[in-house]
Structure 1
Amino acid sequence: MYNYFQAYWNSPYRQVFPFTWTPSKVTLNQTLRTLWEQHVYWTRLTVNSIIGRQPDENVTTERLLRNAVDFEAVLRPLYGAAVAERFGDLLRNHLTIAAELVKALRDNQQAAAADANRRWFANADAIAEFLSRINPHWSREEWRRMLYEHLRLLSSEVSSRVTGNYTENVALNDQIEPQALQMADTMTTGIIQQFPAAFSR
């Protein structure tokens, strides 16, 4: 019924779902895929604005941070306000630390960059731990692996932008997008398995 993978059919990130699709499951997956794609899309634009010292840096960063609020809105009906807000806080930290890291790399502040990078990976650990606690179908190690890969790809994207290697920069974005969709699909699967009655139709 639902085939959403033509563009990434040969991607190593293609997800295999353990259930039959219903309209509500399709809607959930489309919503989460949109949010994760917006996450990497606005991250890329923010990185480019920071590195290029563009006048749209503040407004672009504000739009990026809205991504955390949008995730909260999806999680709140399922997990309640406190859980949704905690995830939003963790995601906002992920985004603000990333901005710190980009500025430090742009300005060749190696100590500041190392500190931001350490806190960035600690935040990824915290997100993975949090998700594994709120949903028994989400593995801490799987989320940790995916988030670390996300950080690795984004770090390489930032470095290639700083050094002006635009060919590599664009190529890296071609890896970042499907990897983000993997996180969306993993999130979808766990939610549907945890709340089957909510997605039966």
Structure 2
Amino acid sequence: MARSYPTWTSSSVELNRKLRALWEQHVYWTRLTVNSIVDGLPDVNATTERLLRNPDDFAEVLASVYGIAIANEFARLLREHLTIAAELVGDLKSGNSEAAADAQRRWYANADSIADFLGRINPYWSQMEWQHMMYEHLGLLSDEVSTRIAKDYVKNVALNDQIETQALGMADMMTSGIVQQFPSNFLS
């Protein structure tokens, strides 16, 4: 079945701009946090703190269409995604494979929870599509972490281009679903 996409209006373009900025910030600050953890940089706390603001920034945008409770639940799930990722990076850096395996299991369970949540709140979002996108996101980030730990900086930087493109795809899918679900909010 062919997917229908909404007509772009100035308000839907603005929503897309906000969501693209948030997903780009998500991957940008994740990258900086990973680099700080792996390299033991003194900015790790400040960088991580900024990264953990991203879920609240998402909630602010989502609250305008879904309300505070749903927006806050998304923020909680996304914050959990980020904190597990930071834990996983630390475990991988220290060589604690048992703890890393546990963190990775919880990370993928969290991705399933995010996909399930998004699939329930919007009839134009498929839980399966979100799960695929989240797993792709986790796979790319895992590769980015591995190449950083291995000091393969050329591959590490190249992966970031893929991560950014994939994140922008999530923003576009999010925008399309919101506009289709709430068309009267995006008439002009």
Kindly provide the CA deviation profile for residues 117-152 of structure 1, in whole angstroms up to 9, marking residues without a partner as x.
000000000000000111000000000000000000
Superposed, 1:43-62 pairs within 5 Å as 43-62=30-49
2:145 is matched with which residue: 147, 154, 158?
Answer: 158
Superposed, 1:38-77 pairs within 5 Å as 38-77=25-64
1:84 is matched with which residue: 57, 71, 76?
Answer: 71
Pair 1:98-2:85 in alignment: yes
Superposed, 1:18-57 pairs within 5 Å as 18-57=5-44
Pair 1:200-2:179 in alignment: no
| Alignment coverage as a number of residue pairs | 186
Task: Give structure 1 stretches of 5+ with no counterpart.
Answer: 1-15
Pair 1:178-2:140 in alignment: no
| Structure 1 stretches of 4+ moved >3 Å | none
With normalisation by structure 2, the TM-score equals: 0.97
Task: Give structure 2 stretches of 5+ with no counterpart.
Answer: none
Q: Which residue of 2 aligns with 1:127?
A: 114
Q: Distance in 2 between matches of 1:67 and 1:168?
A: 26
- Kindly state the Cα deviation for residue 19 of structure 1 after the two structures are TM-superposed: 2.4
1:117 is matched with which residue: 104, 123, 128?
Answer: 104
Pair 1:148-2:118 in alignment: no
8 Å CA contact 1:17–1:189 kept in 2: the answer is no
Q: Sequence identity of aligned pairs in percent?
A: 64
Partner secondary structure for residue 125 of structure 2: coil
RMSD (Å) for aligned C-alpha atoms: 1.0
Kindly provide the CA deviation profile for residues 77-135 of structure 1, in whole angstroms up to 9, marking residues without a partner as x.
21111101100000000000000000000000000100000000000000000001110
Kindly provide the CA deviation profile for residues 127-185 of structure 1, in whole angstroms up to 9, marking residues without a partner as x.
00000111000000000000000000000000000011111101111100000000000
Partner secondary structure for residue 172 of structure 1: helix
- Matching residue's letter, 2:82: L
- Kindly state the Cα deviation for residue 17 of structure 1 after the two structures are TM-superposed: 7.1
Partner secondary structure for residue 91 of structure 1: helix
Q: Distance in 1 between matches of 2:52 and 2:96?
A: 24
Q: Distance in 1 between matches of 2:75 and 2:69?
A: 10
Q: Distance in 1 between matches of 2:67 and 2:5?
A: 26
Q: Distance in 1 between matches of 2:19 and 2:41?
A: 29
Q: Distance in 1 between matches of 2:13 and 2:4?
A: 12
8 Å CA contact 1:47–1:99 kept in 2: the answer is yes
- Kindly state the Cα deviation for residue 18 of structure 1 after the two structures are TM-superposed: 1.6
